[in-house]
Amino acid sequence: MEKVGILGTGNMGGMLLETMIEHGKINETNLYVYNRTPSRNEAIRERFPQVHLASDIPSFLKQVDTVFICVRPGQYKDIIDDLHWSLTEHHIVATITSPVRLEDLEELPARRIVRTVPSIVNRTGKGPMLLTFGHRWTEEEKQSFTIWLDQFAEPIPIDDTILRVSSDIVSCGPAFISFLLQKLIEAAAKETDISSETATKLTETMMISYGELLRQEYYTLRSLTEKVNVPGGITGEGLQVLDKYTEEMFEEVFRETHKKFAADQKEMKRLLC
C-alpha cells in the first residue's frame, strides 16, 4: 500500500483523495490519479501539485500498489479491458461501487479484491466506511489493510447480504437527512416569521451538537427522543405529525433503492462477464 491510486475523482473519489492527504497523512508523492476529464486533473494539480496525474490506465496501474476504483457502474465498460490487461496478481483492488460483485472482480488478475463503500462524512477523517473482503486475502493482510483504512475512516466489516441497506444508511443517509432538514427549514420560513438564513443557522448548530451528544454517549437515539419529549409538551404534538406522515416512508425508500440496486447488479454482471 506504499503507492495508492485513485481511478476517477468525482464526488467520492475526490473526497477520498482529499481525506487521504489531509487526515491519512499520505504523502502526495505516493498518490496517483487517473481521470478521463482533463478539467478534474487541472483542479487536482492546482490544489495538490505533487500528486501524480496519469495519462492512461495502463501507465497509471504500473505505478501503484493499491487502486481505488471510484467510477459509476455504467463507466466500468470503459475501463474493464485495461483492468484485465494491466492489473497484476500483486495489486490490491478496492471498489467503492456497491453493485459490482466481488466474485466478478476476482476474475481480474489481482489476487486481493475488496469493497470499500465510503460516506461523505469520511471527509472529516472519521465516520463509517463499509468493508467487505474477497476470498483470497490472508487474515494478516485483512488486518493490515483495515488498520491502514483506520487512518481516515472507521472501517465496518459487513456481509454482502446487507450491503445495500448498509449503504443506504451510511452512504445515502447523509443526503436523506440533509433533505429532511432542508424541508424543516423551508417549512419554518414559510409558516413563521423566521428567515431561511436564521433557520439554517439554528438547524446546522443543532445538528453539530446533536452529533456530539451521540458521540459522547450521553444518549442513544431512542433515549434522546424520550428525554426531549416531555409528557404533555409541545414536542409530542410535533412527533404525532411526524409519525402520521412518515408511516411507510422509509420502507418505500428501501424498496426503491433495492430495486435500483438489483438492476445495477444485473448490468454490472453483464459488463464484467
Q: Pick the residue with more confidence: 81 or 90?
A: 90
Among candidate residues 75, 221, 250, 95, the one with its CA nearest the CA of residue 163: 95
Q: How far apart are CA 222 and CA 92, in angstroms?
A: 41
Q: Quote the pLDDT of residue 36.
A: 87
pLDDT tens figures, 162-185: 999 999 999 999 999 999 999 999
pLDDT tens figures, 33-87: 999 888 888 889 999 999 999 999 999 999 999 999 999 888 888 898 899 999 9
Among candidate residues 239, 261, 21, the one with its CA nearest the CA of residue 122: 21
User: How confident is the model over 239-259, as a mean pLDDT?
Assistant: 96
Q: Quote the pLDDT of residue 2.
A: 85
Q: How far apart are CA 121 and CA 170, in angstroms?
A: 9
- Phi and psi at residue 33, to the nearest 5°: -135, 140
User: How confident is the model over 123-149, as a mean pLDDT?
Assistant: 96
pLDDT at position 271 over 80:
no
Task: Provide the 3-class DSSP secondary structure of residue 156.
Answer: strand
Give the C-alpha distances (Å, rounded to integers) separating 4 from 46, 151, 189: 19, 14, 47
Contacts of 133 (CB under 8 A, 6+ apart): 102, 113, 114, 142, 145, 157
pLDDT tens figures, 187-199: 999 999 999 999 9
Q: What is the pLDDT confidence band of residue 153, given thresholds at 50, 70 and 90?
A: very high
pLDDT tens figures, 4-29: 999 999 999 999 999 999 998 889 99
Among candidate residues 46, 143, 145, the one with its CA nearest the CA of residue 94: 145
- Over pLDDT 70: what percentage of the chain? 99
Q: What is the pLDDT confidence band of residue 120, given thresholds at 50, 70 and 90?
A: very high
